[in-house]
């Protein structure tokens, strides 16, 4: 009989406990300040390579923190360095050619100037009959030849200068490729995924890392139509984080940044039959998270009201 009473008493305790838990859950969802449940999310960034090459160093692991601009990985620079050396050698060669062409042009200009003065003098004498016309014709031929030589030298100088400009552009392109061989963190955050290891090949556009920026966190929750008129973009709400037993819940202030302009059916995580048959509106709130209290994937609740 005592055993039966004990079993009966234990059953009553279990039923009372379950009833209290259900009542507590219902009372929370019916609280006038309770808006909804959500899961914390943060902005994620992908650090990708912009040039192709072998990864000679991969510096960060999953879970490591990274500051904005930190070096994450290094791609082999040898091909670019060799190409840069080749371009520098061709540039030095062209500079010598340009210097030589410039000297030739200076000499030919002097020759043309001298022939012009002599031709002017002979032309006056030829008009007076003091010198034969053959001498004047010969000077005119020499003068025309010198002018043609000058024009050719100037064209050659222009061509060499254009080649030098092309090489300068190629040099800048290779230098840009060298800079792109270093993969830097685009944001301050935590490494979530490392996609490549040392020795593997990086390719343009393919991510090497996925980084979570924890400075700001966001939550998406759903509210029924009657609640929609009581919230607005810019309004402050509170994100409630559960703590262990005998500790008060922790609240983080957040601000509503977006409200959907179209209704949708209640998501599956809303369990009551009545709620599943209602239309709800998605709402997003963002919170400063410099101390990283809000973790990605953390279940939370969203409540009305300002922080005290």
Residue 137 has pLDDT above 70, yes or no: yes
Return d(Cα 196, Cα 50) in angstroms, integer: 14
* Mean confidence (pLDDT) of the chain: 84
| Cα 157 to Cα 99, 108, 116, distances in angstroms | 9, 13, 23
Q: Is 0.75 topped by the overall pTM?
A: no
Task: Give 224-271 pLDDT, tens digit per residue.
Answer: 888 888 899 999 999 999 887 767 778 999 999 999 988 887 655 554
- CA angle at 21 for the pair 20 and 23, rounded to the nearest 5°: 65
Average pLDDT over every residue of 193-214: 96
DSSP string for residues in 76-134: --HHHHHHHHHHHHHHHHHHHHHHHHHHHHHHHHHHHHHHHHHHHHHHHHHHHTSS-HH
Task: Give 2-39 pLDDT, tens digit per residue.
Answer: 434 433 444 433 333 333 333 344 445 446 889 999 99
pLDDT at 308: 52
| Residue whose pair of structure tokens reads 């509210």 in the numeric block | 223
pLDDT at 275: 55
Residues 157, 66: contact at Cβ < 8 Å? Answer: no
């Amino acid at each position: 009989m005592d055993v039966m009473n004990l079993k009966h008493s234990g059953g009553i305790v279990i039923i009372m406990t379950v009833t209290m838990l259900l009542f507590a859950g219902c009372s929370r969802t019916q609280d006038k300040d309770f808006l909804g449940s959500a899961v914390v999310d943060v902005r994620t960034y992908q650090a990708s390579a912009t040039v192709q090459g072998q990864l000679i160093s991969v510096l960060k692991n999953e879970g490591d923190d990274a500051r904005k601009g930190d070096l994450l990985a290094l791609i082999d620079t040898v091909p670019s360095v060799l190409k840069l050396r080749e371009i520098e050698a061709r540039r030095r060669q062209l500079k010598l050619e340009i210097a030589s062409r410039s000297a030739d042009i200076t000499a030919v200009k002097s020759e043309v100037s001298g022939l012009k003065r002599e031709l002017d003098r002979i032309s006056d004498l030829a008009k007076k009959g003091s010198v034969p016309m053959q001498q004047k014709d010969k000077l005119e031929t020499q003068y025309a030849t010198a002018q043609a030589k000058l024009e050719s030298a100037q064209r050659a100088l222009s061509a060499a200068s254009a080649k030098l400009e092309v090489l300068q552009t190629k040099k800048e392109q290779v230098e840009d490729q060298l800079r792109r061989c270093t993969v830097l963190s685009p944001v301050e955050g935590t490494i979530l995924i490392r996609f490549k290891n040392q020795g593997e090949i990086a390719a343009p556009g393919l991510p090497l890392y996925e980084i979570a920026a924890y400075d700001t966190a966001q939550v998406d929750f759903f509210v029924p139509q009657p609640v929609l008129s009581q919230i607005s973009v810019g309004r402050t709400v509170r994100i409630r984080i559960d703590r262990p037993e005998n500790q008060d819940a922790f609240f983080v202030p957040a601000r509503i940044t977006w409200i959907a302009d179209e209704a949708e059916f209640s998501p599956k995580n809303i369990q009551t039959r009545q709620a599943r048959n209602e239309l709800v509106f998605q709402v997003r709130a963002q919170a400063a998270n410099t101390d990283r209290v809000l973790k990605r994937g953390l279940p939370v609740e969203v409540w009305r009201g300002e922080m005290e």
